[in-house]
Amino acid sequence: MVEEDDKLVRDRIPELIRADDEVPATETVAGEAYRERLHDQLDEEVAEYHESGRVAELADVLAVVNALAALDDVSPGELEAMRREKRAERGGFDDGVVLKRVE
């Protein structure tokens, strides 16, 4: 059975497909094409989280976010530092505050 896909996948997916005695057809993208594929993958992973509500899906979101950050030479540690700085300055999303209007 031939299954058609045209999406970014995790690096070991071709290896896992071969282990199932199937033959993956792949290509490697770089530069702006890679960034665009990561953006598409981020949308897909967020949609999967919305659909399933499973916390494990957030790990996939985080993997894509870290790959996007790496394109700008930002490590996961640096990204976490940015998150903490924003939290210190503006707070987090813990209290469920909804801004309705500013008068």
Is 10 part of any domain? no
Is 94 part of any domain? no
Is 13 part of any domain? no
Is 99 part of any domain? no
Is 72 part of any domain? yes
Is 16 part of any domain? no
38 touches 68 (CB < 8 A): yes
Residue span of the structural domain in which 73 resides: 30-84
Tallying the residues shown for the chain, one arrives at 103
What pLDDT score does 4 carry?
A: 87
Per residue of the chain (103 residues), give pLDDT as tens: 678 889 999 999 999 999 999 999 999 999 999 999 999 999 999 999 999 999 999 999 999 999 999 999 999 999 999 999 999 999 999 999 999 999 9
Is 11 part of any domain? no
Q: Give the integer Cα–Cα distance in Å for 39 and 41.
A: 5
Domain count, the chain: 1
Is 6 part of any domain? no
